[in-house]
């Protein structure tokens, strides 16, 4: 039943757009110009139909394009040279999804609707029956842009026509009542679409300029609150490259072609970092995934090797609150990097040493992250800072 409703949502969007476009052609534009093809009519209709075509095509791409999933068997390459791209953090800083049983690349999140981890997940959109992720985010931005352009153009045309009829004194004539009804319906529809989609577009364009997803924006808010409360030090968002480079990263390198459909470059597994970012750090900060009461050192916490709480020792109430912070704000996102997502045993090939602190605090002295780092790097005989920026 749910799958049927999802498909009906897509069909509803297509029917609504088609109604606005073709009813305007049949009952407004064609009668206005005496039901004859003319240069004036072409000047009016060509721009409208071009924008409608791009609108439909980008909507199709939003629906049909896979947002990107984690490749089977993918593991973080902890020690490869990255040339300014994220991917060099140590294994215990990477997030693990217990639902998909895989490591999650930077900026990936688990979607409970799609039941998979999505690369650079922004949100799950029921109107396209798909997640908005790495490979279809550009199509989604272009779709919103062309919806705004098409509705604005259509609203300007019918407003101009209504003004002409009013100035001619025939707006309320009996012969023009049918046309008036169609004008009012189209006017209300355009205003409604621009009010809703325009607000979404404004929010998404702000995210585009900052190279931030909807989930990451909420993470930034939560991190800022933790900084103000003195729980963590100030952390800068590492993916903001500047407005120009942020736009090019999503819409392509050419501004002349940025509004036209084009595939996304890259693989969604590595992302270029800002100049101020440290390749050894991760986003969001590790403390962001811990309950506020245990985000700092606490004798009553039990920490795994990746410095996240053991889910078996977390009270259900805390677990629900932790997973509900972003879930309530980003419906469909079930980020398995939170408390419930840490594997009880790390996969083979990664450090198996871990630190535990019992509820009575009578276990061995806990190691700091720096001590763990030195111990691990001594075992493999490498310099822990060889990938640091010069």
Q: Which tens digit of pLDDT belongs to each residue from 115-172?
A: 999 999 999 999 999 999 999 999 999 999 999 999 999 999 988 888 887 787 766 6
* pLDDT level of residue 288 (50, 70, 90 thresholds): low
* pLDDT level of residue 275 (50, 70, 90 thresholds): confident
Q: Has residue 307 got a pLDDT over 70?
A: no
Structure confidence by residue, pLDDT tens digits, 175-193: 567 778 888 899 999 999 9
Cα 67 to Cα 109: distance, rounded to the nearest angstrom: 12
Structure confidence by residue, pLDDT tens digits, 193-247: 999 999 999 999 999 999 999 999 999 999 999 989 888 888 889 999 999 999 9
- The pLDDT score that the predictor gives to residue 207 is 96
Structure confidence by residue, pLDDT tens digits, 338-357: 433 444 444 555 444 444 44
How much is the average pLDDT of 249-267? 92
114 in catalytic set? no
- The pLDDT score that the predictor gives to residue 374 is 67
Structure confidence by residue, pLDDT tens digits, 36-83: 888 988 999 999 999 999 999 999 999 999 999 999 989 887 544 444
Q: Is the pTM of this model over 0.75?
A: no
Judged by DSSP in three states, 341 sits in helix
- The pLDDT score that the predictor gives to residue 78 is 57
Of residues 207 and 299, the one with the higher pLDDT is 207
* pLDDT level of residue 280 (50, 70, 90 thresholds): low
Q: Specify the DSSP element, H or E, that contains 103.
A: strand 102-104
Q: Which of 125, 151, 190, 336 is catalytic?
A: 125
Percent of the residues in the chain that have a pLDDT greater than 90, as a whole number: 41
Q: Positive or negative CA dihedral for 320, 239, 198, 195?
A: positive
Of 389, 387, 390, residue with least CA distance to 89 = 387
| CB 201, CB 257: distance < 8 Å | no
Residue with token string 């103000």: 228
Of residues 314 and 166, the one with the higher pLDDT is 166
How much is the average pLDDT of 368-388? 57
- The pLDDT score that the predictor gives to residue 377 is 64
Alpha helix (H) ranges present in the chain?
2-24, 30-32, 39-64, 137-168, 177-210, 214-228, 243-251, 316-329, 369-380
Cα 17–Cα 20–Cα 22 angle in degrees, nearest 5: 100
* pLDDT level of residue 277 (50, 70, 90 thresholds): confident
| CB 132, CB 140: distance < 8 Å | yes
Q: Has residue 363 got a pLDDT over 50?
A: no
- The pLDDT score that the predictor gives to residue 378 is 66
Q: Mean pLDDT score of the chain, rounded to an integer?
A: 76
Cα 131–Cα 135–Cα 141 angle in degrees, nearest 5: 75
Of residues 301 and 330, the one with the higher pLDDT is 330
Of residues 314 and 138, the one with the higher pLDDT is 138
- The pLDDT score that the predictor gives to residue 172 is 63
């Amino acid at each position: 039943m749910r799958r049927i409703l999802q498909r009906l949502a897509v069909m509803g969007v297509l029917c609504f757009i088609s109604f606005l476009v073709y009813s305007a052609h049949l009952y407004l534009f064609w009668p206005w110009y005496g039901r004859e093809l003319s240069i004036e009519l072409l000047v009016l209709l060509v721009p409208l139909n071009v924008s409608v075509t791009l609108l439909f095509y980008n909507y199709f791409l939003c629906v049909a394009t896979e947002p990107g999933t984690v490749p089977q068997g993918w593991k973080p390459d902890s020690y490869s040279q990255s040339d300014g791209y994220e991917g060099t953090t140590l294994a215990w800083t990477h997030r693990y999804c217990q639902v998909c049983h895989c490591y999650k690349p930077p900026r990936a999140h688990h979607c409970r609707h799609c039941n998979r981890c999505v690369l650079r997940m922004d949100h799950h959109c029921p109107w396209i029956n798909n997640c908005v992720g790495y490979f279809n985010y550009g199509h989604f931005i272009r779709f919103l842009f062309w919806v705004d352009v098409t509705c604005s153009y259509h609203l300007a045309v019918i407003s101009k026509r209504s003004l002409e009829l009013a100035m001619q004194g025939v707006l309320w004539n009996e012969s023009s009542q049918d046309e008036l009804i169609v004008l009012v319906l189209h006017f209300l529809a355009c205003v409604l679409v621009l009010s809703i989609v325009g607000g979404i577009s404004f929010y998404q364009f702000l995210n585009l300029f900052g190279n931030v997803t909807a989930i990451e924006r909420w993470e930034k808010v939560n991190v800022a609150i933790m900084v103000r409360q003195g729980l963590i030090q100030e952390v800068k968002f590492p993916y903001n490259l500047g407005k120009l480079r942020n736009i090019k990263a999503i819409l392509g390198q050419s501004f002349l072609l940025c509004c036209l459909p084009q595939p996304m470059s890259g693989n969604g597994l590595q992302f270029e970092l800002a100049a101020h970012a440290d390749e050894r750090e991760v986003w969001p900060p590790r403390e962001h995934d811990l309950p506020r009461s245990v985000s700092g050192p606490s004798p009553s916490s039990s920490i795994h090797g990746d410095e996240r709480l053991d889910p078996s020792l977390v009270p259900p109430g805390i677990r629900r609150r932790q997973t509900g912070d972003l879930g309530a704000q980003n419906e469909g996102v079930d980020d398995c990097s939170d408390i419930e997502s840490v594997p009880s045993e790390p996969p083979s090939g990664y450090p198996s040493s871990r630190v535990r602190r019992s509820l009575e605090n009578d276990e061995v002295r806990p190691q700091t992250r720096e001590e763990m780092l030195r111990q691990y790097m001594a075992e493999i005989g490498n310099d822990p800072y060889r990938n640091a920026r010069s």
